[in-house]
């Protein structure tokens, strides 16, 4: 049995299973192995996100008649336990997608670019976690609670499959909270500053943060393999390449993906993306400008009934969303909801949002997309 150890098991590095009271995500389906279920493939199954895909599929009793685990040649032959069976990892090839209904891709952009269209040609609906197709015209970019209508007409079992893109983690987490308010009062401008966890850079980055922290506490020089600088007890601008306009790619994803998901080319977004020494949940400080007035009490009530969102906004005890509290949880938490004192006439709000980067920021959202296909 291959070791596919998860760096996040220690109790206080991240918290276990969801316990927040919340509105359930709307598309949950209670099933598991079923003759009538779809055949599923998970591409990139040995990575951190691939492993979490299996965990989410199992947690949500996702129905399937077959489950194919795909990875690079190097990982082929490894065994993975799933529910009460042991499955063998197969090498990803052009022939992997015969008789696959839904293919969950998380093996990086270049693998998606190469094999996504092949899978779709063979009739699979590809839910791709990379950025490869997000901004491609005709490829729906979907958060199930936000814009399920974007994937209207896409079905499994067609001869011709389809590509659906999973948005970037920071975009998903921000829009889970911003969209219900946008629907009510129309967001015209959004200023976002992120506090992003190690998990966004993969399991190796999480391991490095832990290793470095141990080293620093022992007075040793920190091992810097994944990032060029010390991460323990530090923070830095997101490691994505910086573009000609001075924004990094992570930031421009938030700008562009928001426009596509909201189908609103006029919404103004700016973002500053920062990596902080936290394991697996992102936080975001979000300043909103609205076309119509929206007071904070109405906003709070809207968010309390928003699917997949939980409000943590206790001013008396100073209890608000924090990454550790949402780690390993499905819901996006929102708090610090307040009328922006820098804007006139109830046209602005500030809020603070936290969500698990690996779950709602990636795998859960993709699995929810797959659930919409059932």
Which positions are annotated as active-site residues?
169, 282
Residue closer to a copy of itself (CB basis): 140 or 222: 222
> Does residue 222 touch a copy of itself according to CB under 8 A?
yes
Residue closer to a copy of itself (CB basis): 121 or 314: 314
Contact positions with a copy of itself (CB under 8 A) in 54-83: none
- Exactly one of 1, 152, 228, 266 binds a copy of itself (CB under 8 A); that residue is 228
Q: Are 174 and 195 in contact (CB under 8 A)?
A: no
What is the spatial distance between Cα 109 and Cα 129, in angstroms, rounded to a whole number?
8
Residue closer to a copy of itself (CB basis): 73 or 220: 220
Residue closer to a copy of itself (CB basis): 101 or 350: 350
Segments in 62-163 forming alpha helices (H): 109-121
> Does residue 265 touch a copy of itself according to CB under 8 A?
no
Sign of CA dihedral 157, 150, 92, 330: negative
Smallest gap from Cβ 71 to a copy of itself, in A, equals 29
Smallest gap from Cβ 119 to a copy of itself, in A, equals 34
Residue 184: count of CB within 10 angstroms of its CB: 14
- Exactly one of 73, 183, 214, 292 binds a copy of itself (CB under 8 A); that residue is 214
> Does residue 346 touch a copy of itself according to CB under 8 A?
no
Sign of CA dihedral 114, 131, 151, 47: positive
Categorise residue 300: left if φ over 0, alpha if ψ from -120 to 50, beta otherwise. alpha
Contact positions with a copy of itself (CB under 8 A) in 269-308: 269-270, 272, 274, 276-279, 283, 285, 287, 296
Classified as helix, coil or strand, 96 is coil
Smallest gap from Cβ 122 to a copy of itself, in A, equals 39
Q: Are 172 and 260 in contact (CB under 8 A)?
A: no
- Exactly one of 230, 259, 304, 374 binds a copy of itself (CB under 8 A); that residue is 230
- Exactly one of 237, 263, 291, 305 binds a copy of itself (CB under 8 A); that residue is 237
> Does residue 23 touch a copy of itself according to CB under 8 A?
no
Classified as helix, coil or strand, 241 is coil
Q: Are 322 and 356 in contact (CB under 8 A)?
A: no
Q: Are 348 and 290 in contact (CB under 8 A)?
A: yes
> Does residue 6 touch a copy of itself according to CB under 8 A?
no
Contacts of 307 (CB under 8 A, 6+ apart): 23, 24, 25, 26, 145
Q: Are 131 and 168 in contact (CB under 8 A)?
A: yes
Smallest gap from Cβ 189 to a copy of itself, in A, equals 5
Write out the DSSP string of 142-162: --TTT-GGGGTT--TT-SS-E
Q: Tell me the two tokens of residue 273.
A: 């993306």
> Does residue 245 touch a copy of itself according to CB under 8 A?
yes
What is the spatial distance between Cα 374 and Cα 360, in angstroms, rounded to a whole number?
19
Residue closer to a copy of itself (CB basis): 54 or 279: 279
Residue closer to a copy of itself (CB basis): 39 or 212: 212
Smallest gap from Cβ 109 to a copy of itself, in A, equals 19
What is the spatial distance between Cα 56 and Cα 34, in angstroms, rounded to a whole number?
17
> Does residue 336 touch a copy of itself according to CB under 8 A?
yes
- Exactly one of 19, 73, 113, 220 binds a copy of itself (CB under 8 A); that residue is 220
- Exactly one of 219, 265, 266, 345 binds a copy of itself (CB under 8 A); that residue is 219
> Does residue 335 touch a copy of itself according to CB under 8 A?
yes
Smallest gap from Cβ 363 to a copy of itself, in A, equals 21
Q: Tell me the two tokens of residue 163.
A: 């590509």
* β-bridge mates for residue 165, sequence order: 128, 141
Segments in the chain forming alpha helices (H): 48-59, 109-121, 169-185, 203-217, 249-262, 296-304, 323-326, 364-372
Contact positions with a copy of itself (CB under 8 A) in 157-196: 189-191, 193, 195
> Does residue 28 touch a copy of itself according to CB under 8 A?
no
């Amino acid at each position: 049995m291959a070791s596919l150890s998860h760096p996040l098991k220690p109790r206080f590095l991240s918290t276990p299973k969801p316990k927040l009271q919340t509105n359930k995500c709307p598309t949950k389906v209670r099933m598991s192995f079923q003759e009538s279920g779809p055949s599923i493939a998970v591409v990139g199954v040995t990575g951190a996100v691939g492993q979490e895909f299996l965990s989410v599929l199992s947690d949500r009793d996702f129905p399937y008649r077959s489950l194919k685990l795909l990875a690079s040649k190097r990982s082929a032959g490894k065994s993975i336990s799933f529910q009460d069976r042991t499955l063998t990892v197969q090498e990803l090839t052009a022939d992997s997608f015969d008789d696959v209904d839904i293919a969950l891709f998380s093996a990086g952009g270049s693998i998606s670019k190469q094999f996504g269209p092949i899978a779709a040609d063979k009739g699979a609906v590809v839910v791709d976690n990379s950025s490869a197709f997000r901004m491609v015209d005709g490829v729906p970019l979907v958060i199930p609670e936000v814009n399920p209508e974007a994937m209207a007409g896409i079905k499994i079992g067609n001869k011709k499959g389809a590509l659906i893109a999973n948005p970037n983690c920071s975009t998903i987490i921000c829009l889970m909270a911003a969209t219900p308010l946008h629907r009510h009062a129309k967001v015209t401008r959004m200023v976002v500053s992120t506090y992003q966890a190690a998990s966004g850079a993969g399991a190796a980055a999480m391991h490095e943060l832990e290793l470095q922290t141990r080293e620093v506490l022992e007075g040793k020089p920190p091992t810097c393999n994944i990032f060029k600088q010390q991460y323990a007890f530090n923070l830095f601008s997101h490691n994505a390449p910086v573009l000609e306009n001075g924004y990094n790619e992570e930031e421009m994803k938030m700008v562009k993906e928001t426009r596509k998901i909201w189908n609103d080319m006029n919404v103004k977004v700016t973002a500053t993306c920062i990596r902080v020494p936290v394991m697996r949940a992102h936080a975001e400080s979000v300043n909103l400008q609205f076309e119509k007035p929206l007071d904070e009490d109405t906003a709070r009530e809207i968010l309390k009934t928003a699917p997949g969102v939980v409000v943590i906004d206790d001013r008396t005890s100073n209890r608000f969303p924090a990454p550790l509290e949402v780690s390993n949880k499905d819901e996006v938490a929102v708090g610090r909801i307040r009328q922006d004192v820098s804007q006139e006439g109830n046209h602005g709000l500030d809020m603070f949002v936290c969500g698990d980067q690996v779950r709602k920021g990636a795998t859960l959202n993709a699995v929810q997309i797959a659930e919409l296909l059932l």
